[in-house]
Structure 1
């Protein structure tokens, strides 16, 4: 990372930390972008260049943690998809769960603020779509392939369960990371029950994974 990129990353982190402190101290609705700029010691033009809206500021850390697709793309190309997804989940779970009570308090602020809460759902849908694209790239399948779609949805479900495991484990970073690893090991030994079609319908899948009916259509 060059000097300019390093400076930009530090400025961005400083803005986020300052904004989150203000959101927790005086409330999300009561905090203005001008207050954030002043306390972060940056100009309002600089602030808006990094974050065009206050909603993006309160969601910044969660947004980074939701980027499973980005985390997957960082993994070696030769790594098996399931192993790469496990590493991506481990990386993102910490950010989703947070490290301390400050993060938990921030989640409560988001949950009680209609606009950021709605935007969080939109971000979730966007990152789910990006994860499907990342899985499709690695598996050489279309993004709308059923295997790709289900893998992405399951990965996000595992991310949430892993985030819960991280938060419940407590202790230091190593203990929480070990809790996630233990969870991933247990998940891979589960005999998961999937919804089945009605008995006697004669449906199934062909070699390409497409649904096949009793008539063979």
Structure 2
């Protein structure tokens, strides 16, 4: 990453952090883009260039975390897909638990804010489509094939299930993820099918 990209990433992070702080203090609806720009020490035009709306500010870190495709592409090419996806889920667990991120605060705010919550579905859809492309590339299969689409959907569903288990099950998110992946090795998955005639 060059100096310009680093500065842009730092500015972006500063704007997101400022927004989360203000959303937590004053509420999502009551916080203005002008207040966020002032807190982040950037011009309003700069803020709008990076984030055209408040909901994009709130959802930014979640969007980055849910984008599993770059993590899959970073896995060794000779690693089988199942192992690679398992490693991707372990990476996700580590990323979500990173104290430098605002994931917990973001989730609390989304739960209380209907507008960004409504856009969460778009975020999941985008993450799934991105993962479908990465899986398709790895398998040399079109991303629209049923096996690729189901694999991507199940991977993201597992990530969501692990997230729900976190806090209700003992251990860290990484330990829960490892436990789920271990259990999957012996699990029988029942997929819907047509009844025999």
Larger Rg: 1
Name the residue aligned to 1:141: 141
Inter-partner Cα distance in structure 1 for 2:11 and 2:170? 30
After TM superposition, list the pairs within 5 Å mapping 1:12-31 onto structure 2: 12-31=12-31
Contact 2:59 2:106 (C-alpha < 8 Å) held by counterparts: no
In the alignment, structure 1 residue 54 sits paired with structure 2 residue 51: no
Q: CA deviation at 1:95?
A: 4.9
Q: CA deviation at 1:167?
A: 4.3
Inter-partner Cα distance in structure 2 for 1:99 and 1:190? 33
Name the residue aligned to 2:6: 6
> What RMSD, in angstroms, separates the aligned Cα atoms of the two structures?
2.3
TM-score w.r.t. length of structure 1: 0.81
Point out which structure has higher relative CO (alpha carbons under 8 A, 6+ apart). 2
Q: CA deviation at 1:197?
A: 2.2
Inter-partner Cα distance in structure 1 for 2:23 and 2:95? 18
Q: CA deviation at 1:98?
A: 7.4
1:150-194, CA deviations, whole angstroms, 9 ceiling, x for partnerless residues? 1111101111122234444677xxx43233212211122211222
Inter-partner Cα distance in structure 1 for 2:173 and 2:150? 27
Q: Which runs of 5+ in 2 are unaligned?
A: none
TM-score w.r.t. length of structure 2: 0.88
**Structure 1 residues 23 and 99: alpha-carbon distance in aligned structure 2, compared to 1, 3 A threshold:** same
Name the residue aligned to 1:75: 75
Name the residue aligned to 1:206: none
Inter-partner Cα distance in structure 2 for 1:149 and 1:86? 17
Contact 1:72 1:88 (C-alpha < 8 Å) held by counterparts: yes
Contact 2:97 2:173 (C-alpha < 8 Å) held by counterparts: no
Inter-partner Cα distance in structure 2 for 1:138 and 1:168? 35
Q: How many residues align?
A: 196
1:95-139, CA deviations, whole angstroms, 9 ceiling, x for partnerless residues? 557759x74443232123222112111111122111111111111
